[in-house]
Amino acid sequence: MEIYAIKGDICYSKDIHKIVVSKDSYVVCKDGLCAGVYKILPKCYEMVPCYDYSGKLVIPGLVDIHMHAPQYTFRGLGMDMELIDWLNTHTFVEEAKYEDEEYSNKAYDIFVEDLKYSATTRACIFGTIHHKATSELMKKLENAGMCGYVGKVNMDRNSPEYLCEKSVNQAVEDTKKWIEEVKDLKNIKPILTPRFIPTCSDKLMESLSEIQKENKLPVQSHLSENIGEIEWVKDLCPDTNFYGEAYYKYNMFGGDCPTIMAHCVHSNDDEIELMKKQNVFVAHCPESNTNLSSGIAPIRTYIEKGLKIGLGSDIAAGSTLSIFNAMAMAIQCSKLRWRLVDQSLLPLNIDEAFYLGTKGGGEFFGKVGSFEEGYEFDAVVIDDTSIKSARELELKERLERYIYLAQDQYIIAKFVAGNKVFGK
């Protein structure tokens, strides 16, 4: 049994309403699980090894439930288009390069290194259509000590010839090969990834649905991100009443199939109701919604209706891996929505945003994203003491400021599922 304690200024969420703070305290890790937060160490833990991070911020690892690893190469570039033009002009061209092993290795090494030293401990990640490159990405993430899900992307229509499944049979074969290639990984697991309805034929969706049932895999995709996209789905799927039904009819929309849908910017009442009933997770990606002019997702409505919500960086429609940035932007976007769209829906506050980026998204992984007892032990230590300021800040103010500053260079240690990934 491995037990240790971390000492520092501890902040975490129990619920969405309030960040819990405990200055100069200990959080105990026992066999990879959190064994409580204490002002004074109980007798039974007095002799356990202790990482002394006194004066530093100690928080649960951040959770990113939506991003595209291959797009990391063009983050911060080409943000002058809406979704479909952006995909055709920038995204598909870049993703096609991952057929080349040398390119994909080089790109994924850089991506994994940067993710390792970020505050993110768990992530749900899209790869590309290429099974080999996706399996290699997963091995690199596992070796870096990360936890998460990664998907080989599926797309077989409305896609350029150079980035399109050759046939449904080929897609099924490649998907099965990929599942086999990664079956021995411990912390990085496969997640079925139909890119989105416009690029997935009925036959492909049917086949993926069978693979889902056989292998009991979770699913990730995109939903109701852009107005033009939603109109397109209406034309492509005349038998559905709303976008979400196009996944639901293949049993890939929650229920027995744990599902993350990215964006949900323009979901109608029926779609919201089905997401609620099926426990579909909404991946809110505020920076992406802004960069692609998609709109502002009604997160306050989703919170009030009790939907499952986490945050996503959506690299590269979002430019940064930082989920701190996603927290700040979730608040900022909700303020604009409140001012410009609907004054009956209050903006998010810092407690809510921190919850979404930790325990909210963490729930997709089980008991993840908090320091409550029994939660998997993911922790990040931040040395904010070198941020110069004449003003003395309370502990919660230090966290709040850090969320807005979102500068990775102050992260000095990281623990994932009880294992130290880096730090003294």
Residues in contact with ligand GUN by CB under 6 A are: 68, 83, 87, 91, 195-196, 222, 225, 288, 314, 317
Instruction: Report the C-alpha dihedral over residues 283, 284, 286, 289, rounded to 10 degrees.
Output: 70
Q: Pick from 211, 108, 112: which is nearest to 154 by CA?
A: 211
Q: Pick from 406, 300, 296: which is nearest to 340 by CA?
A: 296
CA distance to 129, 179, 302, per residue, from 252 (Å): 19, 18, 20
Q: Which residue is nearest to Fe ion (CB)?
A: 314
Closer to ligand GUN by Cβ: residue 69 or 417: 69
Closest approach, Cβ 91 to ligand GUN, in A, equals 5
Residue 195 contact among Fe ion, ligand GUN, none, beta carbon within 5 to 8 Å by kind: ligand GUN
Residue 287 contact among ligand GUN, Fe ion, none, beta carbon within 5 to 8 Å by kind: none
The 10 Å Cβ neighbour count of residue 389 is 9
Residue pair 243/233 in contact (Cβ under 8 Å)? The answer is yes
DSSP annotation of 61 reads P
Closest approach, Cβ 43 to Fe ion, in A, equals 49
Closer to ligand GUN by Cβ: residue 87 or 129: 87
Closest approach, Cβ 40 to ligand GUN, in A, equals 48
3-state secondary structure of 303: helix
Closest approach, Cβ 94 to ligand GUN, in A, equals 10
Backbone angles phi, psi at 23, to 5 degrees: -75, 150
Closest approach, Cβ 68 to Fe ion, in A, equals 6
Q: Where are the alpha helices (DSSP H) in 152-198?
A: 168-181
Closer to Fe ion by Cβ: residue 94 or 314: 314
Question: Is the Cα torsion angle 367, 142, 7, 42 positive or negative in sign?
Answer: positive
Residue 196 contact among ligand GUN, Fe ion, none, beta carbon within 5 to 8 Å by kind: ligand GUN
Closer to ligand GUN by Cβ: residue 87 or 246: 87
Q: Side chain identity at 323, as an amino acid letter?
A: I
Closer to ligand GUN by Cβ: residue 222 or 266: 222
Compute the radius of gyration of the chain from its Cα atoms.
21
The 10 Å Cβ neighbour count of residue 76 is 11
Q: Pick from 258, 261, 253, 262: which is nearest to 286 by CA?
A: 262
Closest approach, Cβ 139 to Fe ion, in A, equals 23
Contact flag: residue 363 with Fe ion (CB under 5 A): no
Closest approach, Cβ 339 to Fe ion, in A, equals 27
Closest approach, Cβ 385 to ligand GUN, in A, equals 37
Closer to ligand GUN by Cβ: residue 25 or 220: 220
Closer to Fe ion by Cβ: residue 28 or 153: 153
Closer to Fe ion by Cβ: residue 299 or 380: 299
Residue 116 contact among ligand GUN, Fe ion, none, beta carbon within 5 to 8 Å by kind: none
Q: Which two tokens stand for residue 113?
A: 């290194």
Residue pair 270/51 in contact (Cβ under 8 Å)? The answer is no
Scanning residues 257 to 316, which ones bind Fe ion (CB under 5 A)?
A: 262, 314
DSSP codes of every residue in 108-150: HHHHHHHHHTSSEEEEEEE--S-HHHHHHHHHHHHHTT-EEEE
Residue 400 contact among Fe ion, ligand GUN, none, beta carbon within 5 to 8 Å by kind: none
Q: Side chain identity at 20, as an amino acid letter?
A: V
Binding mask 218-257 for Fe ion (x = CB under 5 A): ----------------------------------------
Rule CB under 5 A: which residues touch Fe ion? 262, 314
